[in-house]
Amino acid sequence: MNAIEIRNLTKNFGPKQALSGLNMTVPQGVIYGFIGENGSGKSTTEKIICGLIHESGGSVKLYGKPHTDADVRAKIGVLIEAPGCFSSYSVWNNMKLQAANLGIKNADEEIIKVLKLVRMEGAASNKYKNCSLGMKQRIGIAMALLGNPTLLVLDEPINGLDADGMRIMREVLVDITKNGCTVVVSSHILSELEKIATHYGIVRGGKMLCEMTAEELEASCRTYVALKAQDTNRAKMILGCKYSRVEEDEAGYIRVYDMTTPEEIVTHLYENGILVSEIKTDKIGLEEYYIDLMKEGKR
């Protein structure tokens, strides 16, 4: 049984169609990276899954049941945008209120457990308003984890975090899935998402462009040859005459995406009087794959 199964989901905000027949399948126990441009429908989809907004059409099933069922809702943890906390209360009191709403019996024990999981056990007495952005995001995750949910929906949890904050968040998300929890996480920081996601869904214009596992992504990411030459511009021009796709990246490497070998490129440049100082083969990452996909979509 899948954790989430969405079919033909539509959502209209007045005349604007935010979702137009979106399909989505999230297996249990995975970290599902939900990717898309601003306004592509990620947050709308997540809000529908969480019951914050109503769908205009289509079906949303969580563990095979309608997503509006109270028993299913009891199994979901959510962090949409910022956590819903009272700023003048302490972290502990905010957690206690959420635990009371969820009807958790041994609340103190569970709060300590989830605060430890998000590395926030030392900040329980801090007032929420005095917490940093990174801490607030982790508090939001801790609140979402109360009640031992089996599905966690996180909207942009790593936005605005510093490098250390991102590392902690990464570790936290991986820890959460160790006990079988399914995590749906949307983010624009694809390089971070790539480090933890086991499945991906790429959405565009309110539709799912593609869904794939990390392995499938790895297999479909193109290999390229990257090199540095003495005369970059001339090397680019010469290579451009022979190969169909030659680009220069931000680090000054010339990338040749066609099926070829470093030896063939070095020989070709040498024959044209250019010496290669550095050469390697590499694969494009999620970010580049995503950008390529978007470009193809636009074309």
Partner 1 sequence: MTREIKFESPSFSKRLKGMLGVDFYRLFHTPLFYIFLGIAAIIPAMVSAMTMMPDQNGNTMTPLYSNVWQIIAASEPLYVINSIADYANMNMVFIFGGIMVSIFIGHDYKSGYVKQLFTTHAKKQDYMMSKSIVCAFAMACMCITYFIGGTVGGLLVGYDTAVNAGSLIIAILGKMIMSIGWASLYTFLNVIFRKFFGISIASSFFFGTGILIIGVAAIVENLAIPTAFLNIFLYGSSVNACLTSNVVTLLVCALVSVAWAVFYNVLGTRILYKSDVY
Nearer to partner 1, 96 or 119 (CB): 96
* Element holding 225 (H helix, E strand): strand 223-229
Is the dihedral angle over the CA atoms 169, 172, 178, 180 positive or is it negative? negative
- For residue 48, the tally of other CB atoms under 10 A from its CB is 24
Least distance (Å) between residue 256 CB and partner 1? 41
Exposed e or buried b for every residue in 249-265, given b needs 16+ CB within 10 A? eeeebbbbbeebeeeeb
Nearer to partner 1, 129 or 245 (CB): 129
Least distance (Å) between residue 89 CB and partner 1? 7
Environment class of 55 (CB within 10 Å of its CB; exposed 0-12, middle 13-18, buried 19+): buried
Least distance (Å) between residue 207 CB and partner 1? 21
Least distance (Å) between residue 111 CB and partner 1? 14
Least distance (Å) between residue 49 CB and partner 1? 9
Residue 283: strand, helix, or coil: strand
Q: DSSP states of 157-208 as a string? A: TTTT--HHHHHHHHHHHHHHHTTT-EEEEE-S-HHHHHHH-SEEEEEETTEE
Nearer to partner 1, 123 or 152 (CB): 152
Q: Which residues bind partner 1 (CB under 8 A)?
A: 28-29, 47, 50-54, 63, 65, 69-76, 78, 80-87, 89, 97-98, 100-103, 143, 147, 150, 177-181
Residue 111: strand, helix, or coil: helix
Least distance (Å) between residue 290 CB and partner 1? 27
Least distance (Å) between residue 50 CB and partner 1? 4
Nearer to partner 1, 97 or 274 (CB): 97
Do the beta carbons of residue 237 and residue 229 sit within 8 Å? no
Residue 210: strand, helix, or coil: strand
Indicate the pairing of strand 276-283 with strand 254-256.
Answer: unpaired
Nearer to partner 1, 72 or 123 (CB): 72
Nearer to partner 1, 76 or 117 (CB): 76
Do the beta carbons of residue 124 and residue 90 sit within 8 Å? yes
Nearer to partner 1, 107 or 123 (CB): 107
